[in-house]
Structure 1
C-alpha cells in the first residue's frame, strides 16, 4: 500500500510493527514504545484499517462495499415482514457467522432453516424459542449471544406527529417504539458481539456499543429503502473509558456554563 501519510516522523516509523503491536496493546503503550504521540499511532492505524478492533471487525469488507448498499431480492416468504431475499446470507458472510456462534433473532416471525439459532417473538404461531414481549426483560442471561439480529415492526412517529403502526396493521399487536427493546438486546449480547438492526430508521449508537457499519438495503423498484445498522458491544474496559470520557465532557460543559453566568 502506498504511504499517503505525510511527515518525516511518520515515514520513519516501523508501520508493520505498529500494526502488530496494536493487536495486543493500547494506543498510549504503542506510542511510548515507538517514541511518538498517540495521535500519530491512531493516524497510522486508520490509514491501514488496522485499529485494535480488527480481529472482531468487518475485516473483509472493501472500501467500495462500505460506501454502497445491498441490492437484495423481494421477500420470498409469504409471512408479512419477512427478510429481503438473500439478506441473511449476506449478513452471515459480513459478520462471519459460523455454527459455533450463538445467534438470536428478535421479532423472528416465520424465520426457518436457521438450525441451532434461537428465535424470539411475541406470537407463538411459528414456535419461536422464546415467546416474549421485546418491550420487557428478555428471558435470557446477560452476555449470551455472539450476534443479535433484529427486524422489528417499522413503527414510528413522524416529525409531524403522524403515527405509523405496522404492528397493528400487519400482526394485530401493540405499537412498539423503535428503541423500546434495544437496551435488552445489548444486555444479552457478549462483549465484542454484534447487534444488527434492519429498519427504515438509521439507529443511533446504543450505550456500551460502537457503530460498526451502516448499509442501505433495496429490494427493487417501488419499494422503500431500508437501513441495516450494525453495532459492536464494547469490552468492559472500553465501556468504563467511554463513561469516563462522558463524565469529563460533562465537567467541561458545566465549567463553561459557570464561566458564562
Structure 2
C-alpha cells in the first residue's frame, strides 16, 4: 500500500473513518474503534480547524443501511460540515464510486480514478481545496 505520509502538525479528520490508519477518526459505529463516536452530518468541531478532511462515505443508502444500520445519507449535510471544519487553503479528499458535485468554497484540484482489483468497482478520488473564491467574486461585483 502506498502511503505518502503527512506532517505531524497537520490536522486530519476522517468523518467516516473508524478504521482509518491516521488522523482523527470519527464514526457513527463504536465497534469500528473510532477516536470519537459521532455523525458526519453534524460534526462536533468548531469552524476551520482541520488541514485535511477525508470523506470515504458508504456509496449508497443501501450500503449505509447494510454496513451501519443507518438511514439515508445526506450528501449536502456532510459535505457542508466537511467544508465548514476545513481551514482556508485546506484539502478536502473525497472517495466515491461516482463523480460527485462540489463542496462550498472548495475548488476542484484533481480527480483520480483508482482501480483496486479486477471485478471491483473503481473509486473516484476528488481532491478539492478550500479557498475564498466566492469572497473574491463578491468583491469583484461590488467594486
What TM-score, normalized by structure 2, do the two folds share?
Answer: 0.88
Among 116, 135, 140, the alignment partner of 1:240 is 135
Give 2:45's aligned residue.
140
Among 3, 14, 25, the alignment partner of 1:105 is 14
Instruction: Give the unaligned 5+ runs of structure 1.
Output: 1-85, 156-163, 249-261
Structure 1 CA distance for aligned equivalents of residues 138 and 57 of structure 2: 29
Among 161, 164, 171, the alignment partner of 2:68 is 171
How far off is 1:244 after superposition? 5.1
How far off is 1:242 after superposition? 3.0
How far off is 1:208 after superposition? 0.8
> By percentage of residues, which structure has more strand?
2
Structure 2 CA distance for aligned equivalents of residues 100 and 201 of structure 1: 32
Q: Secondary structure at the match of 2:76?
A: coil
Structure 2 CA distance for aligned equivalents of residues 210 and 104 of structure 1: 19
> By percentage of residues, which structure has more helix?
1
Please tell me whether the aligned partners of residues 130 and 139 of structure 1 are also in contact (alpha carbons under 8 angstroms).
no
1:226 aligned to 2:123? Answer: yes
> What is the alpha-carbon root mean square deviation over aligned residues?
2.0
Instruction: Give the unaligned 5+ runs of structure 2.
Output: none
Rg larger for:
1
Cα distance, 1:223–1:243 mapped onto 2, change above 3 Å: farther
Give 2:57's aligned residue.
152
Give 1:198's aligned residue.
95
Cα distance, 1:226–1:179 mapped onto 2, change above 3 Å: farther
Structure 1 segments, 4+ long, off by >4 Å, are: none
Aligned length: 142
Please tell me whether the aligned partners of residues 52 and 90 of structure 2 are also in contact (alpha carbons under 8 angstroms).
yes
Structure 2 CA distance for aligned equivalents of residues 151 and 196 of structure 1: 8
What TM-score, normalized by structure 1, do the two folds share?
Answer: 0.50
Structure 2 CA distance for aligned equivalents of residues 100 and 132 of structure 1: 23
